[in-house]
Homo-oligomer: A and B are copies of this chain.
Amino acid sequence: MSELAEALQAHLGTQKVTINETALALHSKDESYHTPSKPEVVAYPTCTEDVQAIIQIAQSFSAPIYSFGLGTSLEGHAIPYEGGVSIDFSEMNNIIAVKEKDFLVTVQPGVTRSQLNQELKKYGLFFPVDPGANATLGGMAATNASGTTSVRYGIMRDQVRDLEVVLADGTIIRTGNLAAKSSSGYHLNGLFVGSEGTLGCFTELTLRVHGIPEHIVAGRAAFRTLDDAVAAVVAILQAGIPIARVELVDEPSIAKVNAFSDTAYSQKPTLFLEFHGNEAGLKQDVAFTKEMVADYGCEAFAFETDTAARNKLWEARHNLAYAYVHSAPGRKLMVTDVCVPISQLADAIRTARNAVTRSPFEGGIIGHVGDGNYHVLIMIDPANADEIEAANRLNEAIVNDALARGGTCTGEHGVGIGKLKYQVQEHGPALGVMQSIKHALDPENRMNPNKLLYTKTEDVV
């Protein structure tokens, strides 16, 4: 056992610190195709003081720190390529307070979104942000996750009212307050959300929650072509219909859904839609939407009238990445994540579809199209260098296209290591500002080093 591991055990006890091979292997990877790499030691804090102690002990050994939630990230965010300590937050999973009158909840970072929603239901509340995986809220804040409801309720960053963060030197700060808005000081909430563990470790989150809508209507609209489906989305958004969810699932992806989730949805390019509101307003929105999708050749608009069928629909959508993984044993998932302005969406998706067709992969396109965010999913053999190269070429073509359209290389998955190479191209001299901030807050580059931005001097732009 290394001196670092011994020092951590001496302080925290053997229950909270391990070098067990299974634990090291579990913390060596995420759900992506990126190459695994083991940490030196894994720590399981149960409170803020534990996290502070781990960080301070690691500092005395000049050891790097990696935050680990449930390992559901898709760009290698939590992989400890430089060894050091992987801090696993799964034991910090208490819902500390539900402040229902303020529409706020305070949680530890290891609480998952499903666990939170289970609890919130008792109060008639829900937490909207829903990446496919049942991720931890700490991880979701670290990557600025979003999902199917962001078109209506916003992304993770919009929900974070306050964070408790332990910085690289062990200082504990609070980034916000409990008021609905503030113009006091720099926007640290916004800075730390999406910082991917590079600026500090989250130990407590206060999040906005929302009332469960009075009425919910969900449905599937099937189209003749992908183009028609995308054109219909753009029309719905531009008409100002306050849609709560609008998800694109292309033909190959519907096939995966049906195979994995035991559904029998019509195998056509499809929009999964949901409306939230009061009864009268919603009726008008739905009627208007039906007229509108008909204009784009919608062949069938199937309502999911009961709660079970509605839940099934969204479960099938959330499991789509797993459906791809399940369909190709031994292969690893690579998923693009660009986001473009709505006016560019139709052309961008057409370009992506053509790029997939030209590639050696089958591939599917799905997306949170209400935000202009879509994913190409392909399954690759990590042992096949040609496939990896072809996959990288596809990914690059799609990212370059999105950036040329005024978009971003990652709408919701984050940079990790997978999107590092696009940061100069996307941000230009602004990357230098990010590097200055990183250097100011983590001068030794020990917090999830070499993720999100290059921090080595020679890479400073």
Contact = CB atoms under 8 A, between A and B. Distances in A.
Interface stretch (A23-31, A248-256, A291-299, A422-430): A422-430
Interface stretch (A265-273, A325-333, A353-361, A434-442): A434-442
Contacts of A191: 186-187, 190-191, 437
A406 to B, nearest CB: 4
A409 B183 CA distance: 8
A150 B184 contact: no
B180 A415 contact: no
A340 interface: yes
For the complex formed by this chain, how many copies does it contain in all?
A: 2
A179 B430 contact: no
Contact of A185 (B183, B288, B426): B426
Contact of A182 (B278, B280, B281, B410): B410
Contacts of A177: 406-408, 426
A434 B440 CA distance: 10
Contacts of A414: 183-184
A99 B343 contact: yes
Which of A177, A277, A411 has the most chain B CB within a 10 Å cutoff? A177
Interface of A is mostly: mixed
Contacts of A452: 185-186
A449 B278 CA distance: 50
Contacts of A283: 280
Interface stretch (A9-17, A56-64, A167-175, A219-227): A167-175
A291 to B, nearest CB: 14
A419 interface: yes
Nearest to A200: B433
B373 A181 contact: yes
B434 A437 contact: no
A144 interface: yes
A155 interface: yes
B429 A184 contact: no
Contacts of A410: 182-184
Interface residues of A, number: 95
A104 interface: yes
Contacts of A409: 184
Which of A281, A343, A412, A452 has the most chain B CB within a 10 Å cutoff? A281
A47 interface: no
A316 to B, nearest CB: 23
Contacts of A364: none
A240 to B, nearest CB: 4
Contacts of A406: 177-179
B179 A186 contact: no
Contact of A281 (B193, B277, B423, B438): B277
A457 interface: no
Interface in A124-160: 143-146, 150-151, 155, 157-158
A132 B441 CA distance: 37
B284 A174 contact: no
Contacts of A343: 99, 101-102
Contact of A101 (B238, B240, B337): B238
A183 B441 CA distance: 20
A135 to B, nearest CB: 13
Interface string A382-416: 00000000000000000000100111111111110
Contact of A179 (B279, B280, B341, B415): B341
7 contacts: A143-B183, A144-B182, A179-B339, A179-B373, A183-B337, A183-B414, A191-B437
